Structure 1
Amino acid sequence: MLLTEKEYVEWHENDTSHLARWLSASDHPAPARIVIVDDKTTADEAYRLACAGTSMLYRGDFHNARQLLQAVTRRVERTEKNSAKRKLKKAANKANNSTESGSKNLPNLFHQQRQTTAQRARILSRLLLELDIDYVSSLRRAPEVNKACIAAFGALDKEDESCVLSFRDLQGALGAAGWREKGVPIKELGVAIYPHYGVFAPTRHEYVQLLLDAPLPTVHDVAYDIGTGTGLLAIILAQRGIKQIIATDLNPRALTCAQDNFERQELANVQLQQADLFPTDAPLANLIVCNPPWLPAKPTSPLEYSVYDANSAMLKGFLQGVKSHLAQQGEVWLILSDLAEHLQLRSREALLAWIEEAGLTVKYRLDTQPKHGRSQDKTDPLYAARSSEITSLWCLQSV
């Protein structure tokens, strides 16, 4: 998130009313009920308050606050195992048996798991911290968080004396700062990509080899990277010798992140443009690449827009508009997982119909099987779908 419209949170402490700027990475509304907690607050008490919808502003020791959040997390996980996960596992057993009823249950299983994850996030976001205008904490043994918070949330306005945010959001900002410093190694390229806060990190990058293996169009002097994110696909195209690359994204954070990565790679042939899908005032492209969100579901936070695409809106919009931006004999490289098909959220027939309706045809397809941990975890309620997942590069061309 970037600080735009102001929202404030109010609480009473020591018979005094307090007001502070409210920050939320997930755009959650300011909490309505806040109580003061400290080092004496037990995990059971904190868990009870959080489940009841009460937020807790922590006073005391920073490390104790972190341990309290860890203890509440364990209680949430234990409750999930004893209640919600029983339902998920029951449904997962039906799905893993590959019966017709199990197959039909997969969409419900997926949505139940998302609801469980959302509920966990709400509970764990109830532990709050107050920081001053320079993002300094008054808690004992608090670390330096100023740079991480400015990178994540932007500088606070001078009229704001302090801000309040969830401990989890602060951890997210610190984690993002770590990724930004050390980078994500992309071994297939021999480079590292440096994600920024609010930009999806390419920790899953099995598709990189597909982009390296796909034969370039005969003419490949101009290429587009639609929805560039960190800029990874554009960097691959540059390494493969594309002379002019135009990378687009609607998210200002992504544009800043991609520019950072292009400068680190000393790329002078990549132009960035803020756009919803396709660039304007640009030459027709010989190659257009896109790695859209893979799952047709509604995002619940800004970061989830990189994973979830409600009603496949971006995918369909890309397919419907891409032909008008394509040069003669040009190609479209669509990077897409079939996980949505295994979850019964989208059919292969629907995808092929959208391609045909867009005036495109499939020239060839390259496939790879993901090797990430969740695809190997048999205890995952969605294991039946994840273990069958294939990531593909669909090479499309005009009919």
Structure 2
Amino acid sequence: MRERLFLLLILVLSGILLSFATQSISISYDEANIFFNGNGFIHYLAVYSTQFLGQNDFALRLPFILFHLASIVLLYKIGKLFLKKRVDRIISIAIYALLPGVNGVALLVNNGIIVIFFSLLFTYLYLKEYKVASHLVLIVCLFIDNSFAIFYIALFAYAIMKRKTDLLILTLILFSASMYLYGFDTGGKPKGYFVDTLGVYAIVFSPLLFLYFVYAMYRILIKEEKNLLWYISFFSLVVSLLLSLRQRLLLEDFAPFVVLSVPLMVKVFFNSYRVRLPAFRKLHTFFFITVLVFLVANTMLSFFHKPLYAFMNEPSKHFAINYDIAKELADALKSKGITKVMMKDDKMALRLKFYQIERGGNYKLSLQKEIEEGYEQINITYYGKVVKTFYLYSFK
């Protein structure tokens, strides 16, 4: 009962934090493009949610938050299969819930959290030996997202090593089908994106935790039993790093599979920690606390990012600039009774459309002064710092 209460507490806190974050960011251009012009699974998720709850940021992001919470439950159930101690399982899901990359895909309109959920669903069903159900999930994955091609490669390697003939045949067929339906670009000349890829992984995990992830994968490779989660995480990492030698990758194609390794990292750490006498655990304790502090700091920074604008000379270089401004600009226009505006910036126009600011009318919005008189200046300000300035012209 105590363990379930901790699980519930993590779910509640994660849900509250993500729900709060929906009110502090604006829809990005990529999200608006999916919402208005998409035709995939996540498009219909977002559209149906806003039709039911109203066209607002919370309704837009709610389906992805719910998938995130369901993923935490699945990871907890998977952890129960090979993490013997209750504290290990709780720490595992707590770390997962704190990962900056996981919170990012849980908050934004993208396929990442859907991929994580179905990967975990297959893993749980397969480990519980629900063979038919797990195979059906794999087939469904083919029609959800092209990134599952990497998942099929990892499962194919697992099937070869563990001599799982049925899984081997199925993943080979599904991988071939994925290549036929979506393709996979491996062209291009070497351009040195390997370091960039490592940097993105460090952001997904937080830098220190990523280093430990690499260590844990290596330690399991040479010393410990390699289970299904290891094959998924390890081969996703290796394939992404190899491909990054030739081209810039979309990390959402790989990162969702790598973060499934959290229970493995917890297991490796506590196996090493508990074989030592208490007097020789100080270094491990220090490392654990340091990693946790940096993890929490990185996560909180991603949620409470707006105060950083106050310390930046060039706000346009803020890491979250693409997820800010639009909502505040729409509110400023509505406060003036404006619901239609002409502008050259197609991307901002599509973002404003979500907030019921259409194109047209008797007003023009510009980032530049077009004439010296007859305009109204709209400043988007965070914590006393002007982040963006717009010029509003009236043609009445």
TM-score by length of 1: 0.26
Bigger RCO of structures 1 and 2 (CA < 8 A, at least 6 apart): 2
- Flag the structure with higher helix content: 2
